[in-house]
Amino acid sequence: MKQAEAEGGLVQLQLGKHTLDLTRPQVMGVLNRTPDSFSDAGQFTDFDAARRHAHAMVQQGAAIIDIGGESTRPGAEPVSVQEEIERVVPLIARLAGEVDAPISVDTSKPDVMRAAVRAGAVMINDVYALRQAGALQAAHDCRVPVCLMHMQGEPRSMQQNPHYQDVVNEVRQFLAGRVRACIAAGIQSEQILIDPGFGFGKTLDHNLQLLRQLHEFTMLGQPLLVGLSRKSMIGTLLGKVPVAERLQGSVAAAVVAVLRGAQLIRCHDVAPTVAALRVAAAAR
Ligand code: 7PM
């Protein structure tokens, strides 16, 4: 048994035919499938641009590509199952055959999980932590690793009035409970990742407490994934700067997260994040 495993942490994550080494930080690249345009030409361009972006992220060192078809942005309206499947499944099917990296599907809907995994996705990333009706069963049936994220409320209204007595404890208790629910549903412990859900029903102060005390999540014994990339907490800390000006702050946050125990970083800007995390890992 390797040292890290003896200490209670997983050292590897099996994602289909890919084995991820969790003893060094790994990057999950974000691929958002924007709504299709009306013309066929537009659809082709959009599909092709998404494919090229996935290939570029893998070349830049992304260990996983996370594909989502529903915006979880604060205030966003939900999309139908049908619409979400049309957005993500053809892309997953195409990429699974041509990209040398595991594909994760960012969804909360059981039918999307099943369709995405059938198309070749080997991981489920769910911002609802499998709380939607039928999601636990679907994830179990898919037999792929799952990432359980904490969110207070729902995307539409979660930033209206986030409230906690003790955010770190409450998020940790929530995640511990969802891990137990997964295990009770038959999902293997080695296939469960956790994520405190930065920005999902949290104020800047809540997000900062979670980042400062991120180590408190490693004691749950599951791989820890975090997403801080381009989030509004970065924008706020830099003086309300727009998304396009959040790169350096996002990279700094990723480095802090890795030094405090995160094993996977979900981000948009893969090349600079991978470079920064190589340096951070060497100094850890
Ligand atoms: C607008 C605002 C669009 C925020 C998209 C977002 C996470 C996630 C997202 C995360 C995990 C984003 C978010 N964030 N999944 N999905 N962890 N596991 O910044 O932090 O991409 S959506």
Atom of ligand 1 nearest to the CA of 228: 20
Within its chain, how far is the Cα of 249 from the centroid? Answer: 19
Per-residue pLDDT reduced to its tens digit, 157-173: 898 999 999 999 999 99
Q: Is the pLDDT of residue 8 over 90?
A: no
Per-residue pLDDT at 37: 46
Which of the four pLDDT bands, split at 50, 70 and 90, describes residue 1? Answer: very low
The yes-or-no verdict on residue 152 having pLDDT over 90 is yes
> What are 232-281's pLDDT values in tens digits?
999 999 999 999 999 999 999 999 999 999 999 999 999 999 999 999 99
Vertex 33: Cα angle to 214 and 262 (nearest 5):
15
Closest-CA residue to 191 (of 110, 267, 126): 126
- Rounded distance between C-alpha atoms, residue 38 and residue 254, angstroms: 37
Cβ(39)–Cβ(81) below 8 Å: no
Domains of the chain: 12-283 (3.20.20.20)
Q: How far is CA 81 from the centre of its chain?
A: 20
**Mean model confidence pLDDT for the chain:** 93
Compute CA 65 distance to the chain's CA centroid, rounded to the nearest angstrom.
10
Q: Which two tokens stand for residue 45?
A: 């361009």
How far does residue 158's CA lie from ligand 1's centre (Å)? 13
pLDDT digits (tens, 9 = 90+) for 56-75: 999 999 999 999 998 776 66
Handedness of CA 119, 120, 123, 127 (dihedral sign): negative
Atom of ligand 1 nearest to the CA of 198: 20
Question: How distant, in Å, are the alpha carbons of 170, 184, 185 from that of 180?
Answer: 15, 6, 9
264/76: higher pLDDT: 264
> What residue's CA is closest to ligand 1, atom 17?
227
Q: What's the CA gap between 242 and 137, in Å, rounded?
A: 40
How far is it, in rounded angstroms, from Cα 71 to Cα 271?
A: 24
**What residues flank ligand 1, with Cβ below 6 Å?**
30, 71-73, 106, 125, 127, 147, 149, 195, 197-198, 225, 227, 229, 231, 266
Q: Considering the entire predicted model, what is its pTM?
A: 0.95
Give the residue whose CA is nearest to atom 4 of ligand 1.
Answer: 73
How many Cβ atoms from other residues are within 10 Å of residue 270's Cβ?
24
Catalytic residues, by residue number, are: 231, 266
